[in-house]
């Protein structure tokens, strides 16, 4: 009889998958807020782990700068209404975003494709990195690597637990594989970013460009006898 139930193994796998999504920002989604005049606090979907961008009627809203807040003495709770220019996001418990200043225009929740310029200009868009939801191919790790990556984590968890079947050497082995998986994800994301830059610009992309070498005179480096 197995020491671990299918439910326990599934919980481990889903927990680790959620950690990977939150750490590497693997799944980008968008939602539209229905704003109310004078109200600054809005609830976000439960699968939000990091905010990528906030757009208010086509204008970017920036994360609130702590230094700026301290200097001016204002806070997101200030009742002043205007076009929001900064926000605070809480990812503890219920996901909440606070806009500052509070919106001075009531905007309805946008219906339709949120990944368009029309939606950007007509709505309050929250673009965020989401936790896995398993609703489609994007809501979980890719099939070509998902099984092996989750297996490494599950084996590490199983072999390190005290009791019959504990194997510390095997646990260390799978712990090293987990670290290697993280480096692999980082390299993939770096390559994706480099490819995106190459698509968006005509100039060659040099991720590790060094300072240019000056053109030296032909007699540079010739020793002089004193």
Q: Is 215 helix (H, G, I), strand (E, B) or coil?
A: coil
Judged against a pLDDT cut of 80, whether residue 69 lies above it is answered with no
| pLDDT attached to residue 196 | 75
Residues 58 and 126 in one domain: yes
| pLDDT attached to residue 33 | 93
pTM for the whole thing?
Answer: 0.72
Residues 117 and 46 in one domain: yes
Residues 42 and 124 in one domain: yes
Q: What is the mean pLDDT of residues 209-216?
A: 67
In a domain? residue 101: yes
Q: What is the mean pLDDT of residues 109-116?
A: 92
Residues 73 and 37 in one domain: yes
Residues 176 and 90 in one domain: no
Residues 141 and 124 in one domain: no
- Length of the chain in terms of residues written: 226
Provide the domain limits for residue 149: 6-18+136-193
In a domain? residue 156: yes
| pLDDT attached to residue 194 | 79
* Rounded Cα distance, 79 and 90, in Å: 19
In a domain? residue 217: no
In tens, the pLDDT along 19-65 reads 998 888 888 899 999 999 989 899 999 889 889 999 999 999 998 86
In a domain? residue 176: yes
The total number of structural domains in the chain stands at 2
Instruction: State both tokens at 123.
Output: 């709505």
| pLDDT attached to residue 78 | 52
In tens, the pLDDT along 184-210 reads 888 888 888 778 777 776 666 565 566
In tens, the pLDDT along 75-106 reads 444 557 788 989 998 767 678 899 988 998 99
Q: Is 94 helix (H, G, I), strand (E, B) or coil?
A: coil
* Rounded Cα distance, 149 and 144, in Å: 10
Q: Which residue has the higher pLDDT, 66 or 200?
A: 200
Judged against a pLDDT cut of 90, whether residue 177 lies above it is answered with yes
Residues 35 and 13 in one domain: no
User: What's the mean pLDDT when you consider all of the chain?
Assistant: 82
Residues 161 and 103 in one domain: no
DSSP string covering 24-35, please?
HT--EEEEEE--
Residues 12 and 33 in one domain: no
Query: Model confidence at 166, in pLDDT bands (50, 70, 90)?
Result: confident
Burial class (CB in 10 A: 0-12, 13-18, 19+), 226: exposed
In a domain? residue 43: yes
């Amino acid at each position: 009889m197995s020491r671990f139930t299918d439910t326990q193994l599934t919980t481990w796998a889903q927990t680790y998958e959620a950690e990977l999504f939150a750490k590497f920002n693997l799944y980008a989604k968008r939602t539209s807020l229905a704003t109310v005049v004078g109200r600054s606090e809005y609830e976000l979907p439960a699968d939000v782990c990091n905010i990528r961008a906030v757009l208010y009627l086509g204008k970017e809203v920036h994360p609130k700068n702590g230094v700026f807040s301290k200097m001016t003495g204002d806070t997101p709770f200030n009742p002043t209404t205007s076009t929001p220019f900064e926000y605070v996001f809480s990812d503890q418990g219920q996901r909440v975003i606070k806009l500052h200043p509070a919106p001075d225009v009531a905007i309805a929740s946008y219906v339709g494709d949120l990944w368009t310029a029309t939606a950007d200009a007509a709505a309050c868009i929250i673009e965020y990195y989401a936790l896995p939801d398993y609703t489609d191919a994007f809501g979980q790790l890719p099939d070509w690597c998902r099984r092996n990556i989750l297996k490494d984590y599950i084996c590490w968890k199983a072999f390190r637990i005290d009791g019959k079947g504990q194997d510390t050497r095997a646990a260390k082995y799978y712990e090293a594989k987990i670290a290697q998986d993280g480096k692999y994800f980082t390299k993939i994301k770096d390559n994706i970013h480099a490819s995106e830059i190459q698509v968006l610009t005509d100039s060659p992309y040099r991720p590790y460009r060094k300072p240019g070498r000056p053109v030296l005179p032909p007699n540079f480096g010739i020793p002089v006898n004193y």
